[in-house]
Amino acid sequence: MLRLVMFLGTNAAIMLVFSITSKLLGIDRYMGSGNYQSLLLFSACAGFIGAFISLAMSKSMAKRGMGVQVIDQPSNETEAWVQQTVFRQADMAGIGRPEVGIFNSTSPNAFATGMNKNNALVAVSTGLLAAMSREEAEAVLGHEVGHVASGDMVTMGLVQGVLNTFVVFFARIIGQIAGGGRDGQRGNMMIYYAVSMAAEMVLGILASFIAAWFSRRREFVADRAGAELGSRQGMIGALKALQRVHDPVGLPDEMAAFGILGGKGSLMQKLASTHPPLEDRIAALEAGWGK
């Protein structure tokens, strides 16, 4: 989840800065009314540049944002085990050995990110290493290596580029319609700017739901990689450990939302979630994935 949240957040910030800058510099004025081919080309350039800048920045931002300590020379047995496990799994998956790191967090978590499958970062939290057995932690690391081997970050960059393109394109068309056509009159231009910015925010939220849906699909594939590079029982055990964290024992469903880790969430939360429900992932593995 951390990997995608950082990527989507960076992408949204870049697109917002681009939108404001293009209006302040008057770039939008050159996208004449009815010139939809030029507008689509402009939107595609903006959309894919924003997505791939986010992708290029993902590894350095993850290191700084999460305080990841990259393991160059292991200083203890745990660091040596984590690094050796990731390297072994990367060799099994046929990809370049990624950088391996550990970050301080009481929450059990791990993520993988990077511009390409041969130049990635796999990081795991101290909380996960403390809460899970070696077999379970090995499966989680395999899950993250699976994301790298499948090129999920690059694929997400392409998906986000397409989504950005249509967000920019349709937001400006909506702005043009609301402004009564871009005839150069300041009043119409002010309406165009205000409406297109508002439309971009609304369409951006809808686009994030599509990106989250894609991410949820990829999690099942990464779970299978975790089962194959680690073990199926280890992956199931890891998910059940996460389930115990996210569904506290002793709180009924109607009270779980008031617990420190929250309940099952609203429909909006489910649409925006980058991961499918843990029970669905466990069921998929128990049905035979990764045998």
How far is Cα 28 from Cα 42, in angstroms, rounded to an integer?
A: 9
Within a domain: 116: yes
Within a domain: 209: yes
**Mean per-residue pLDDT, 10-21:** 65
Q: Which of 229, 232, 242 is nearest to 148 (CA)?
A: 229
pLDDT of the residue at 57: 82
Q: Which of 147, 210, 158, 168 is nearest to 14 (CA)?
A: 168
Within a domain: 93: yes
Helix boundaries (H) for the chain? 2-24, 36-66, 77-93, 126-131, 134-149, 152-178, 186-229, 232-246, 253-256, 267-272, 278-286
Cβ-Cβ contacts under 8 Å for 81 (sequence gap 6 or more): 134
pLDDT digits (tens, 9 = 90+) for 17-28: 666 666 665 566
Compute the mean pLDDT over every residue in the chain, rounded to the nearest whole number: 80
Q: Look up the domain containing 238 and give its range.
A: 2-286
Within a domain: 169: yes
pLDDT of the residue at 253: 38
Within a domain: 291: no
Within a domain: 11: yes
pLDDT digits (tens, 9 = 90+) for 48-84: 888 888 888 888 888 888 899 999 999 999 999 999 9
Could you tell me the pTM of the whole model? 0.78
Q: Which amino acid is at 271?
A: L
The label of the residue with tokens 């999690």 reads: 219
CA distances from 122 to 72, 116, 199, 237, 277 (A): 13, 12, 37, 20, 23
Catalytic-labelled residue, pool 79, 99, 138, 144 = 144
**Mean per-residue pLDDT, 148-164:** 88
At 98, is the secondary structure helix, strand, or coil? Answer: coil
pLDDT of the residue at 114: 85
Q: Work out whether strand 119-125 and strand 99-103 pair parallel, antiparallel, or are unpaired.
A: parallel
Cβ(15)–Cβ(164) under 8 Å? yes
Q: Which amino acid is at 56?
A: A
As a whole number of Å, the end-to-end CA separation of the chain is 25
Q: How many domains does the chain have?
A: 1
What region does 218 belong to: left with phi over 0, alpha with psi -120 to 50, or beta?
A: alpha
pLDDT digits (tens, 9 = 90+) for 257-279: 223 233 455 666 677 777 788 89
144 is catalytic: yes
Looking at per-residue confidence, does 245 or 206 come out higher?
206
**Mean per-residue pLDDT, 155-184:** 81
Asked if residue 185 has pLDDT above 60, the reply is no
pLDDT of the residue at 81: 97
